[in-house]
Chains A and B, each alone.
Chain A
Amino acid sequence: QEQLVESGGGVVQPGMSLRLSCAASGFTFSTHGMHWVRQSPGKGLEWVATISYDGKHKYYGDAVEGRFTISRDNSENRVSVQMNSLTTKDTAVYYCARKMEAYHCIGGSCPFDLWGQGALVTVSS
Chain B
Amino acid sequence: EIVMTQSPATLSVAPGERATLSCRASQSVSSNLAWYQQKPGQPPRLLVYGASTRATGIPARFSGSGSGTEFTLTITSLQSEDFAVYYCQQYNNWPPWTFGQGTKLEIK
Contact = CB atoms under 8 A, between A and B. Distances in A.
B95 interface: yes
A47 B99 contact: yes
Interface residues on A, range: 20 to 34
B99 A106 contact: no
Interface stretch (A7-15, A73-81, A108-116): A108-116
A113 B95 contact: no
Interface residues on B, range: 20 to 34
Contacts of A114: 46
A72 interface: no
30 contacts: A44-B87, A44-B101, A44-B102, A45-B36, A45-B44, A45-B87, A45-B99, A46-B99, A47-B95, A59-B94, A59-B95, A61-B95, A95-B43, A95-B44, A104-B49, A105-B32, A105-B50, A106-B30, A106-B31, A107-B32, A109-B92, A110-B91, A112-B36, A112-B46, A113-B46, A114-B46, A115-B43, A115-B44, A116-B43, A117-B43
